[in-house]
Amino acid sequence: MSYVLVINSGSSSIKFQIVDPSSTAGDTAFVSGLVEKIGERGGKITVTYRGEKHTSNQPIRDHRGGLQLAVAMLDSLDAGPTQLDVVAVGHRVVHGGQTFSGPALITDEVVEQIRDLIPLAPLHNPANIDGIQVARDLLPDIPHVAVFDTGFFGDLPAAAATYAVNREVAEANQIRRYGFHGTSHEFVSGQVPGILGRDAAEVNQIVLHLGNGASCSAVKAGAPIDTSMGLTPLAGLVMGTRTGDIDPGIIFHLYRHAGMSIDEIDTLFNRSSGIKGLSGVNDFRDLHKKISKGDELAKLAFDVYITQLRRYIGAYMITLGRVDAITFTAGVGENDAATRAAALAGLETYGITLDPERNAAPNDGPRVITTDDSTVTVLVVPTNEELAIAQKSAEVAAR
């Protein structure tokens, strides 16, 4: 059995999984783990292997120290990357800019190219590079592959990718719509034709990736023709802590009249806005608890979220002309029946009829939640970004 080690390196955490890339669905992680609070108090490493959780609490100075400890812990369980047949290490990289429209075998030059894209993703790409460098040093004999969150959207039609910002300024600063969560949109949209029993070339679909971050895409014959995130993952739908689309004039207003710095506005929009900024909580389970207790701010937050979601669904129905499938995925999309019901309520005229019982069923693999006579099929398809990264990485490593 051969495996891929998948690494998602963030600013203060590293998530990893050892995945069998030939697995098809369900829980595909052979081993999974998390290094938390890197460079902070309360460092912790957790590894789950064969259903058992192993934890180690200790200070973790940096990404190098964290990954070293994680590999040592895996080795002690006989599940280390050099003990198993690990054929590739797949790294999730947030921004591939206009340089990468698909996964790339990592070389020194590729690392430099990812570094050159830091201005486009100042919070994410540096942490991704840390993870890559440490893992390459620790596992030099295994091919490393970068899989970009923007990759799937590299060939968006020019009219969808171009902002109506002065062309010279936009070109000089690489300003365009890049789109994110591409690995998830590609993985989920790739499953839908099979579930419908149709050829991918015939299927027009809308994919709603609703997690803590949220985005949607319009996919025609397997290729995206529009997506809600933009130059950065701040655009589009309302999210757990991010604004989604807002009038850019709000930035000038806060800068000029509230005396906020650009960094303060950046933090406000990314970390303390969205559902959290409106209601005080960002997890939909907590939001529903508040709503059921009559909390009006929580109800407003949910309504704002749904209103924005419906704006995009409506827009993409027109963009696609004919819609065959609308698919919900990620934490909220897979688990929150109330969000799905509200997002598609009253759209029977457009051929969308949810079946309330199917919609309320627990999340257990891909399923259809519309009635049999609904013209548009609405589905819930669990995403699995780690499996998708593993598959792509194994493919690139075998070339």
Binding site for ligand ADP (CB under 6 A): 211-213, 240, 282-285, 330-332, 335-336
> What crossing angle do the helices spanning 125-138 and 63-76 adopt, rounded to 10°?
50
Measured from each CB, the residue nearest to ligand ADP is 331
CB nearer to ligand ADP: give 384 or 391. 384
Tokens for 4? 């891929």
Residue 333 marked in a binding site: yes
Identified catalytic residue from 149, 226, 324, 336: 149
Per-residue exposure over 163-195, b if at least 16 CB sit within 10 Å of its own CB, e if not: eeeeeeeeeeeebbbbbbbbbbbbbbbebbbee
Q: Which of residues 204 and 384 has its CB atom nearest to ligand ADP in the complex?
A: 384
Residue 173 assigned to a binding site: no
Does 303 carry a binding-site annotation?
no
Residue 316: both structure tokens together: 């993409």
Strands of the 144-148 sheet, one edge to the other: 52-57, 44-49, 29-36, 14-19, 2-9, 85-93, 144-148, 104-105
> What DSSP line would sit under 336-349, residue for residue?
-HHHHHHHTTT-GG
Residue 149 annotated among the catalytic residues of the structure: yes
| 125 labeled part of a ligand binding site | no
Ligand-binding site membership of 264 (annotated): no
Distance CA 131, CA 288 (A): 36
Least Å from the CB of residue 380 to ligand ADP: 12
β partners of residue 48: 32, 53
Q: Give the nearer residue to ligand ADP in terms of CB position, either 283 or 395.
A: 283
Task: Calculate the CA 39 to chain-centre distance.
Answer: 25
Q: At its nearest, how many Å lie between ligand ADP and the CB of residue 201?
A: 29
Pick the closer one to ligand ADP by CB: 143 or 213.
213
Residue 385, marked binder: yes
Structure tokens at 268: 């406000």
Distance separating alpha carbons of residues 30 and 390, to the nearest angstrom: 12
Helix, strand, coil share of the chain (percent; to 5): 40, 20, 40
Q: How far is the CB of 137 from ligand ADP (least distance, A)?
A: 28
Least Å distance, CB 191 to ligand ADP, is: 17
Nearer to ligand ADP, 281 or 323 (CB): 281
**Rounded to the nearest whole angstrom, what is the least distance from the CB of residue 295 to ligand ADP in the complex?**
16
- Binding-site annotation, residues for substrate: 92
- Binding-site annotation, residues for Mg(2+): 8, 385
Active site positions, annotated: 149
